[in-house]
Structure formats: structure tokens, C-alpha cells
Chain A
């Protein structure tokens, strides 16, 4: 039998080959196992049996088909004004938030505000606003203003402001840099650098973040009604509680269609702003 030819040169060449990946396999396996273990621990802690969850789907499907179908389209005309209200809550809330967030964003970005204590104060205040969910804001505000539309609007503004301001600030910091350096070099003041340099370049990011937030707010404003903060949510809730499932389905379907239409329009708009 012929033995395999030994070539020290080839061996050394092979050992000097550049590796195709620098990620150790063991680390990938460890991280994946850890992630799966955390999810499994959450299920065990909550006492949820995955099998039960899957088994509930056929019952849910059959309940939906027998009790909700067909939708009662007659319920739509009486409530269309509330659906429109829901959309306008999102429009008004996002509009006011975007103006306030623009001011806060300018105070939050290092490139536009060099006063550290002011930056930190704004950051702290906004992080409180941002980290309280919109439904919690609505529930708290109902104690102050009572049930009504104003609660929904303020809840949306509070919940949106923190998120938008932070997103705006990050985008402003990204567009600053070299371009602002040129304006600094011509002797422009801070205000001139912001208005002539940062804001024109920030417009696409501003449109994108605002439309993205609008879509989130549209869904939030539908839910807000369920805690009495105005909009269609309260009627959907009442219909469900009174077992008028056909009416509820008609309203949910109309709302979903309007949300999808709005998403389609905002996506078109987003593509046009560059």
C-alpha cells in the first residue's frame, strides 16, 4: 500500500490559510442555548403549557366562525364617526408630539445642545414619559380629566413624545458632523448651523419617524377607547361585553381596513421624501 506523501510545505501552507470565520462555534451554541433556556424558564414560571395553547386554537377558530361571522355591516354607519375620531386622535396626537419632540430633540442631541445639565434633565424627563405605557397614562389621566377624548389625546402625546424626541435627536446627531463642520468654518452661529445645516438634512428622518409613530398611535388610539379615553374602542368593548359579536366584528374589520389604508398611504409618502 502506498503511503500518503508527506509534504511539510503543504502542511504549513494549510495552517497559514486565512480562516473563513472568526466566530467560535462554541460561543454560538452557548448563546443559543442560553436564549432558549430563558424562554423555557418564562413558560415554566408562568405555568403555561404550550400544548394547551396549541389545542385552544381550534376551539377559538370554531368560536370565531360560529359566533362572530358574518359581520353585521349595519353597525358601521352608526359608528363611522367614532372610527374617524380614532384616526384623528392619532393625527392630532402625532402632530403635537412631533412639534414638541423636535424642540426636545434639539435639546437632547449633543450636536445641537452643548449644555450638559440641560441635556441630562430633558433626557431624564423624557425617559420617564417614554417608559410609562400609553394605557397606563390613559388610566392615570382619567382620574384628572374624567372619561373623554382629551385623555386619549394627552396619553398619546405623553407616550409618543419621549420616543420621538430620542429618535429625532439620534437622527440629528447622525446628519451633523462633516456638513456642520463646513458651516462652522464659515463662521456660522449655533442657530445658523441648526437651521441651515442640520434641519434640512434631518427632514427625511423626521418624516420617517413621524409616520412610523403615527402608525403606532393609530393602533394605540383604538385600544385607548377601551379604558374610556375616546374613540371606537369603547363601542367595540361594549359590543363584546353585550355578546354582540357580529357588530364587534364589523367595527374591528372597518378599523383594520382603515389602518391598512393609512399604512399604505404613509408608505407611499415615505418613499417620496428623500
Chain B
């Protein structure tokens, strides 16, 4: 296991009366491929977005290994820290009318001054790296195509390249294969795992596909009603736990705490 990269303490997020995150305590380590599973509305996306402050948490601490408290950052300091955290989106979020290589270079926007980015004056080495990344994910033929001319799977691979161009230590992926067919999903997940492993990045991926979670994860986190109910190795994800995690919304964490859920790995279910 790598060094600790990110420590989250008592993370809470409320939308009016609805509590999306109800006090999450967790640590992530360098180089680990973590998959979060949980039903829609369980709080997975909110959790991931709180880490890079795309959503402001209501309470809690998000502390990186360099001592930076993410929850305290504002303005330029926040942008600088965000530039070190890669993010991959369900709908790819590419700029469709712009070509593939420019979309990948957008990963550098947080690291170059405005005038340089406006004139496209990125460092030569970074441009070379963007091309190599695209070649690595099998898109060497598409470099100068418009992004909106690509297939969903290709777009997501461009999204991965854009995130890696940030030189991040942490990569967040919010349901990266939710809009893809099974074959494309496998290509994208293979690509994501290979790239993050080669570079020793910590990757936190939200997924709905339990089979993919078991196949790719080093560590699986189950989220239910804003709390972590499972944190362990893929072997810990038994059918019984899957059923529990995806069971009806009426089940509260308090009720879950009364239920005996098999525990394995780092943390047992309903422990959070």
C-alpha cells in the first residue's frame, strides 16, 4: 500500500433539509484504484465533488498529504489545488467544436497564464506529452478531429487524457462508463486502470456496475444514504452486501447498523 494521500474527516453535505453526506471519515493512499458503489442519490457524486470542491462541503476536513486543507481554500489557491486533481465525467464534458488535442491541452489550463493558453503557447514538452497520451489510449488517428465527431468511448478516453495532462496525484472519475456500451466500458476502464497504475496515481471511481467494480478495484467502498457502509477488498463485496447497498431507500443507516453485515478488509459495513 502506498503512502497516505488524502484524509477526509467527518465530511458532511446538506441540501436544505436533505443530508447527502452524513459524516464520512476515510483515507486514500497513493497508487490505489478505489471504486465507490451505491445506488443513485447515495452521495457518491457529492462525495467526489467535495474532494475537489466542485461542491462546497457543509462541514468536515479534506486534508492532502502536503498539509493543504481543501475545504479552506479560496480563489486562486483553490484553482491551483484543483489543477492538481484530475476529474473524469459521465458525459465526458469535452468542448465539442474543438479538436481532440486542444481538448487534451485544456488539462493544462490551470497551470499556464491566460494569455499563453489563449495563443495556444503551451510548453512544447507538454504538447508532445499530449500526443503520446493520445497514442497510448489508441487515438493517434483522431488527434485533429473535432471532439464531437468521436464515439462515446473515444470521448471518454480523451477525457482521461485531459485529466492526466494535469499531472495529478489524484484522479476522480464520476461514473465514467455510465453512458457507454459494455465493450466501450471495458476499453475505458482498462485504459483508466493502466494509465493510473503506470503513473502511480490514486484513482477514485464512482460506478454502478458491480461486475466492473470487482474486476478493476483494489479497494471497494460502498455508500448508502450518505454514509460508508463497506470499505474493503473486492472479495468483500458479496452478493448479500451488494443487495444491501442497493436495497430500497427506506432503509436508513440506523436500521442498517442493526443489521449484521459481513465484514472484510479494512472496514466492516455500517461502520462509518
Instruction: Give me the interface of A with B, judged by CB distance under 8 Å.
Output: 178-179, 181-189, 191-192, 195-197, 200-201, 203-204
In the complex the two chains form, is A201's CB within 8 Å of B114's CB? no
In the complex the two chains form, is B110's CB within 8 Å of A188's CB? yes
Which residues of chain A are within 8 angstroms of B89 by Cβ–Cβ distance? 178, 181-182
Counting CB contacts under 8 A, is B125 at the interface?
A: no
Instruction: Give me the interface of B with A, judged by CB distance under 8 Å.
Output: 52, 54, 79-87, 89, 91, 93-98, 106-111, 114, 117-118, 159, 162-163, 166
Please pick, from B52, B95, B111, the residue contacting A179 in the complex, using a CB distance under 8 A. B95
In the complex the two chains form, is A185's CB within 8 Å of B82's CB? yes
Count, A-B residue pairs, CB within 8 A: 76
Known interface pairs A186-B106, A203-B97. Does A178 touch B82 (Cβ–Cβ under 8 Å)? Answer: no
In the complex the two chains form, is B54's CB within 8 Å of A183's CB? no
- Give complex CA distance A158, B82 in Å: 43
In the complex the two chains form, is A186's CB within 8 Å of B109's CB? yes
Residue of A at shortest CB range from B172? A185
Which residues of chain B are within 8 angstroms of A203 by Cβ–Cβ distance? 97
- Give complex CA distance A179, B93 in Å: 4
- Give complex CA distance A197, B109 in Å: 11
In the complex the two chains form, is A182's CB within 8 Å of B93's CB? yes
3 A-B pairs with the lowest CB-CB distances in the bound complex, closest first = A187-B110, A187-B83, A182-B93
- Give complex CA distance A178, B166 in Å: 19
Which residues of chain B are within 8 angstroms of A179 by Cβ–Cβ distance? 93-96
In the complex the two chains form, is A181's CB within 8 Å of B93's CB? yes
In the complex the two chains form, is B52's CB within 8 Å of A185's CB? yes
Known interface pairs A189-B114, A192-B117. Does A183 touch B109 (Cβ–Cβ under 8 Å)? Answer: yes
- Give complex CA distance A185, B50 in Å: 11
Known interface pairs A184-B54, A186-B83, A189-B79. Does A201 touch B106 (Cβ–Cβ under 8 Å)? Answer: no
List 14 additional contacts besides A187-B82, A200-B98; criterion CB under 8 Å: A179-B94, A179-B96, A184-B82, A185-B82, A186-B83, A186-B106, A186-B109, A187-B80, A187-B83, A188-B79, A188-B109, A189-B79, A196-B109, A203-B97
In the complex the two chains form, is B109's CB within 8 Å of A182's CB? no
Shortest distance between the CB of A211 and any CB in chain B (Å): 18
